[in-house]
């Protein structure tokens, strides 16, 4: 039929090349299999597996993938219809153009800035070619980029081809810089747009510091969010080579950096693990009770992914990090935090949460609003309530018990229950008259925290709220009398927070906080399995 396809599996980067006859030559077209990059693709020494999370555009890009596949099939059909050996004819109606392109420069080494050369329409029978060469602008060849020249060929039946110019990274704070790529000497076409501008985007900024954050100081287990850049070498990443990873300080504000910390800490709040930004805390922890999670814009050494990690690596000795790639996550504090928890979850032995029907590696969740739910080990980018899971949703492909694996395989367990679940051991709310308050953590499935308060009588009202940035618990709030009977309760169906009120006679009463589920788990609901995490209570009792 005039073509054949070869799939070549390089380590960590599966690609495919399509070879087609073009007059007396063969033209190879390279195709990225981006949907495979973040899947379970590699087994290394000791059957060690690394797994990752897709970038935002891949998760949302199913329609685009389908359109790309349709376009490939159309091109193959055109190739079948073409008559080998024909050619000649004029260039009527076929013109060449080249599009502008941009890329962040990086701190060292080189990366490729890719330009697309496009035809106004395909020539089904002939190869079209054009020469190209670079020219300095504010960017200088040899210091900002490597000058390039050559010939670009567009195969018969195709409309696009690409060319690459190496960009040289540095740490100089400077304006964005530009250079030109010029087209000349077309064959079988005319030139419509002969010049593209390549922009090298400066990514260097004045130094900034990472805010100090510790979610559980003194815990033996540590998850270190490394945000200020790191040089990694001698690990299984990049075949043991050196990776120069920049940080995200200076790109994200301190407010955004703290949001990443708080969101990640909420996911791990029930456990005896300290989420920290201090490297000294990480280094002081036992080497088999810690993980470094490097948050960086530099993903080129690996590929298109939101993050990647080795399974079970939390308990390895040494310092093999997991990775979160901020540029692939729109530099969104929320997306970065979700990816951080996901990748740390892999290091704690957890696999992906997907579905069997439709077949997908990463489940994006279900529901809407505050009760829109997704599993942390699926894709937590788009729903507000993101929890650990045991695969209770429809067509789940993974029913492993996340909570059990986290707390039994990694040298740490749940935090101690700080607030008893009975009225006999109730903890008094802060405040004696008027405003009352408390805060706590629901540490385990089905945990209940009971608080006491006294009133001289009158209207009493209370609210229980999950973490303000990233809530993992759906709250049930109840007022109990002295015998433990429920006087009033609240668990709004469409909300995760709860408020309750009652007019009470003088005496001592109790507030009970619980984590609950909602609706049908096989529809748009969820169970109370991982409705655990931080909460705060505020209210008034005269």
Q: Can you give the residue ranges of every domain in the chain?
A: 423-541
Question: At residue 87, does pLDDT exceed 50?
Answer: no
Mean per-residue pLDDT, 215-228: 97
> pLDDT for 486-509, tens place per residue?
999 999 999 999 999 999 999 999
Question: At residue 526, does pLDDT exceed 70?
Answer: yes
Question: At residue 257, does pLDDT exceed 80?
Answer: yes
pLDDT band (50, 70, 90) for residue 73: low
The DSSP code sequence of 344-357 is HHHHTT-----EET
Question: At residue 84, does pLDDT exceed 50?
Answer: no
pLDDT band (50, 70, 90) for residue 142: very high
Mean per-residue pLDDT, 67-88: 45
Whether the Cβ atoms of residue 468 and residue 496 lie closer than 8 Å to each other: no
Mean per-residue pLDDT, 432-450: 95
What is the distance between the alpha carbons of residues 120 and 362, in angstroms, rounded to a whole number?
A: 38
Whether the Cβ atoms of residue 183 and residue 99 lie closer than 8 Å to each other: no
Query: DSSP alpha helices (H): ranges in 268-358?
Result: 279-284, 333-347
What is the distance between the alpha carbons of residues 513 and 388, in angstroms, rounded to a whole number?
A: 20
> pLDDT for 17-51, tens place per residue?
677 776 667 777 766 544 333 323 332 333 345 67
Class of domain 423-541 (CATH, top level):
mainly beta
Q: Do β-strands 290-296 and 322-325 pair in parallel, antiparallel, or remain unpaired?
A: parallel
User: Which residues are within 8 A (CB) of 100 and not within 5 positions of it... i.e. 6 or more apart?
Assistant: 196, 197, 198, 199
Cα angle vertex 292, ends 286, 296, to 5°? 165
Whether the Cβ atoms of residue 129 and residue 136 lie closer than 8 Å to each other: no
Mean per-residue pLDDT, 521-531: 97
pLDDT band (50, 70, 90) for residue 327: very high
Place of tokens 């039929």: 1
| Mean pLDDT, the chain, integer | 88
Whether the Cβ atoms of residue 220 and residue 289 lie closer than 8 Å to each other: yes
> How far, in Å, are 96, 192, 280, 329, 540 from residue 188 at the CA level?
10, 13, 64, 42, 82
**Other Cβ atoms closer than 10 A to 463:** 16
What is the distance between the alpha carbons of residues 80 and 179, in angstroms, rounded to a whole number?
A: 40
What is the distance between the alpha carbons of residues 209 and 455, in angstroms, rounded to a whole number?
A: 48
What is the distance between the alpha carbons of residues 90 and 188, in angstroms, rounded to a whole number?
A: 7
Locate 433 and state its tokens: 């008259």
pLDDT band (50, 70, 90) for residue 173: low
**Other Cβ atoms closer than 10 A to 36:** 16
Mean per-residue pLDDT, 64-73: 51
Mean per-residue pLDDT, 80-107: 67
* Structure confidence at residue 417 (pLDDT): 96
Phi first, then psi, for residue 284 (nearest 5°) are: -80, -15
* Structure confidence at residue 64 (pLDDT): 44
Locate 147 and state its tokens: 């000058």
Question: At residue 274, does pLDDT exceed 90?
Answer: yes
**Residue of 283, 288, 287, 327 lying closest to 305 (CA atoms):** 327
What sign has the CA pseudo-torsion 361, 261, 266, 291?
positive
Question: At residue 82, does pLDDT exceed 50?
Answer: no
* Structure confidence at residue 38 (pLDDT): 34
Locate 58 and state its tokens: 């891949």
What is the distance between the alpha carbons of residues 368 and 196, in angstroms, rounded to a whole number?
A: 44
| Burial zone of 67 (CB within 10 Å; 0-12 exposed, 13-18 middle, 19+ buried) | exposed
**Residue of 348, 316, 322 lying closest to 336 (CA atoms):** 322
Mean per-residue pLDDT, 264-279: 98
């Amino acid at each position: 039929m005039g073509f054949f396809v070869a799939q070549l599996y390089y380590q960590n980067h599966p690609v495919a090349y399509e070879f087609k006859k073009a007059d007396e030559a063969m033209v190879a077209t390279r195709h990225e299999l981006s949907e495979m990059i973040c899947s379970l693709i590699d087994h290394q020494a000791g059957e060690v597996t690394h797994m990752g999370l897709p970038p935002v555009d891949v998760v949302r890009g199913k329609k685009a993938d389908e359109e790309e596949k349709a376009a490939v099939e159309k091109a193959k059909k055109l190739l079948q219809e073409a008559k080998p050996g024909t050619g000649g004819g004029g260039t009527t109606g076929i013109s060449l153009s080249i599009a502008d392109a941009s890329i962040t420069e990086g701190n060292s080494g080189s990366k490729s800035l890719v330009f697309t050369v496009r035809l106004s329409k395909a020539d089904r029978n002939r190869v079209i070619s054009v020469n190209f060469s670079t020219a300095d602008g504010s960017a200088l060849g040899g210091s900002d980029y490597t000058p390039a020249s050559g010939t670009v060929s567009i195969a018969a039946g195709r409309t696009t081809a690409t060319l690459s110019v190496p960009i040289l990274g540095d740490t100089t704070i400077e304006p964005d810089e530009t250079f030109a790529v010029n087209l000349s000497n077309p064959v079988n076409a005319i030139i419509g747009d002969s010049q593209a501008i390549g922009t090298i985007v400066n990514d260097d900024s004045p130094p900034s510091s990472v805010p100090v954050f510790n979610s559980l100081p003194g815990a033996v287990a540590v998850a270190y969010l490394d945000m200020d850049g790191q040089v990694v070498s001698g690990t299984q990443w990049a075949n043991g080579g050196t990776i120069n990873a920049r940080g995200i300080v200076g790109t994200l504000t301190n407010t955004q950096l703290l949001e990443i910390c708080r969101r990640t800490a909420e996911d791990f709040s029930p456990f005896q693990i300290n989420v920290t930004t201090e490297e000294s805390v990480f280094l002081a922890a036992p080497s088999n009770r810690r993980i470094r999670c490097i948050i960086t814009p530099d993903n080129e050494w690996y590929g298109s992914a939101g993050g990647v990690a080795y399974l079970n690596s939390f308990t390895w000795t040494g310092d093999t990090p997991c990775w979160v790639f901020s540029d692939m996550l729109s530099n969104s504090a929320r997306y970065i935090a979700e990816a951080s928890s996901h990748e740390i979850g892999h290091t704690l032995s957890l696999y992906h949460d997907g579905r069997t029907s439709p077949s997908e590696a990463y489940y994006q969740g279900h529901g809407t609003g505050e009760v829109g739910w997704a599993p942390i080990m699926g894709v937590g980018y788009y729903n507000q309530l993101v929890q650990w899971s045991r695969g209770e949703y429809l067509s789940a492909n993974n029913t492993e018990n996340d909570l059990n694996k986290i707390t039994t395989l990694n040298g740490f367990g749940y935090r101690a229950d700080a607030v008893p679940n009975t009225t006999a051991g109730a903890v008094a709310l802060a405040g004696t008259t008027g405003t009352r308050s408390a805060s706590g953590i629901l540490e385990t499935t089905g945990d209940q925290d009971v608080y006491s308060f006294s009133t001289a009588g009158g209207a009493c009202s209370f609210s229980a709220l999950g973490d303000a940035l990233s809530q993992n618990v759906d709250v049930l709030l109840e007022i109990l009398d002295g015998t433990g009977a429920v006087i009033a309760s609240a668990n709004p169906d469409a909300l995760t927070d709860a408020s309750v009120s009652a007019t009470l006679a003088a005496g001592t009463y109790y507030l009970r906080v619980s984590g609950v589920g909602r609706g049908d788990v096989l529809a748009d609901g969820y169970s109370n399995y991982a409705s655990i995490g931080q909460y705060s209570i505020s209210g008034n009792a005269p």
